[in-house]
Structure 1
Amino acid sequence: MKWPSRNERVRAMRQRLETQGWPRLQMSLLVALAGAAGFLGNWGLLHAGFGKMALRYPLAVLVAWGAFLALLWVWLKARESEDVADAGDALDLLPESGGAPARAGNAASDAGTGDLFDGLAAADEFALPLIAIVFVVTLLLAALWIVTGAPTLFAELLVDSALSASLYHRMRHGDANHWLETAWRRTRTPFAVTALMLALLGFAVQTLHPGAHTLGQAMAAAHARND
């Protein structure tokens, strides 16, 4: 009997999760908890003296990512007795498929960036609400990115946990991954994009209002200036 490949196991487990469970709903809860950890991290960093939003926001995203990976571990342990065992038993019945930058350019970019923020400062009353909207949209899109791919991520985590726990000797060496490697590979892009976007937004806010340490403070200062 030939053992199925990892990809076949993942496809079968994904179908099972989508049929018998609510993977996107479960992932929504994990993302919400990770987001709360990120907000708490941002609050803690602010009170620890990290006033620069361009630095603090990416660090808060890193806190959220760490919390998210920890939550994935908790989820995996909670499902281990049921789904990981089934990944080793039921999926073995599947047949195996056959086959195998310049300095001048930087100066121009800096000049363009300066012109952009000068324009934002001239329209301060519109710039900050726009930044706030982009801030919220960035977080929502990152969450949607992860939630949408929840069935595949959960399926890979369960299969990789089963393989590393009891089935590794049945698979070809290149087919087995540690669950943490899978989680890192699947989630690094949305978290990295979010960190970059929030760093840029934080830099924009503090360019408009150098004394502000939060978006709320900047908006209050802009409101007071307009009054």
Structure 2
Amino acid sequence: MKTKFSREKFVQRIRVHLEQDGFPRLEMTLIVAFTGLSGFLTSVLLLHCGLLTIWLRYACAFGVAYAVFFTLLWLWLYKRSGDLVDTVDLLNVIPSPSGASSSSLNILEAGGGNFSGAGASGSFEGLASEGTSVPLGGVGDALEVAGEADEFAIPLIIIIAIGAAVFALLASSAVVIASAPVLFAELMVDAFLSASLYHRLKGLHTRHWLHTALRKTILPFLIGATFFVGLGWFMQHQVPQAHSLGEVIHHYRTTP
């Protein structure tokens, strides 16, 4: 009797294995944290380099952080390449063709690896619930100075705007951390299994792992970026001479 394989079955089995064998949510927490740090440092560096327009600086910081996020996903996939063959053997999800040796499953070459493989197209239900957003340039300032702000000196609208932007980033980050096993499983399928295994199976379409990561993350990323870029524009509109969130807070606390 011939077993019918599908991308969804591969994703499900690898997701279960990842949760039993490792800590995918903790790993995603570290990825999100380093991504946020890169965005914050980018914003600080751009400020020192003379980019004084707040909303534009936040937009650039988000762009850099998003690139860092994809780089960290690549590093995670590369790290996983070493035990992928063992994972596939353990799950026994791919029928070995007659006469094929286990060495045919070596997907990554020494010295960098190849991530040009792709997986089958599938449904992307609940994109927002499975996506990710990245906390970055500005959120550190927001948490620090907003916590020290005097409510009676700072307009309520400013406090609400800061709170909304921070909440959007923290909430979307929590969502991606919770859904990390599914996201990692899909990336593993698209990045590794397709290159050496999917060509044995008929009727499966392919796509690059970057395509999967982009589709899973672009919506929440844009939501988070929109909130912070909008916050930057609003603050500079209210206090044109200010070049950072700290200066906006300082302006309202020192102005009678």
Q: Distance in 2 between matches of 1:48 and 1:145?
A: 34
Deviation at 1:25, TM superposition (A): 1.0
Q: Distance in 1 between matches of 2:211 and 2:92?
A: 22
TM-score where L is the length of structure 2? 0.71
Deviation at 1:90, TM superposition (A): 2.5
Residue 30 in 1 paired to residue 31 in 2?
yes
Confirm or deny: 8 A CA contact 1:35 1:64 kept in the other structure. yes
Residue number in structure 2 paired with 1:194 = 224
Residue number in structure 2 paired with 1:170 = 200
Q: Which moved more, 1:85-94 or 1:131-140?
A: 85-94
Q: Distance in 1 between matches of 2:88 and 2:217?
A: 22
Aligned residues: 198
Misfit runs of 4+, over 3 Å: 171-175
Q: Distance in 1 between matches of 2:79 and 2:236?
A: 43
Residue number in structure 1 paired with 2:13 = 12
Deviation at 1:153, TM superposition (A): 0.7
TM-score where L is the length of structure 1? 0.79
1:140-219 equivalent positions in 2, closer than 5 A: 140-172=170-202, 174-219=204-249
Residue number in structure 1 paired with 2:69 = 68
Confirm or deny: 8 A CA contact 1:85 1:162 kept in the other structure. no
Structure 2 stretches lacking a partner, 5+ long? 96-152
Deviation at 1:135, TM superposition (A): 2.7
Confirm or deny: 8 A CA contact 1:87 1:162 kept in the other structure. no
Match of 1:10, SS state, is: helix
Match of 1:80, SS state, is: helix
Match of 1:9, SS state, is: helix
Confirm or deny: 8 A CA contact 2:198 2:204 kept in the other structure. no
Q: Distance in 2 between matches of 1:162 and 1:10?
A: 12
Residue 92 in 1 paired to residue 122 in 2?
no
Residue number in structure 1 paired with 2:55 = 54
Deviation at 1:134, TM superposition (A): 2.0
Q: Distance in 2 between matches of 1:30 and 1:72?
A: 8
Aligned-residue CA RMSD (Å): 2.1
Q: Distance in 2 between matches of 1:12 and 1:132?
A: 41
Identity of aligned residues (%): 38
Q: Distance in 2 between matches of 1:141 and 1:54?
A: 21
Structure 1 residues 167, 88: CA separation in 2 closer, same or farther (over 3 Å shift)?
Answer: farther
Q: Distance in 2 between matches of 1:91 and 1:150?
A: 23
Structure 1 stretches lacking a partner, 5+ long? 95-122
- Could you tell me which amino acid in structure 1 is paired with residue 249 of structure 2? M
Q: Distance in 1 between matches of 2:4 and 2:83?
A: 21
Structure 1 residues 91, 162: CA separation in 2 closer, same or farther (over 3 Å shift)?
Answer: farther
- Could you tell me which amino acid in structure 1 is paired with residue 57 of structure 2? R
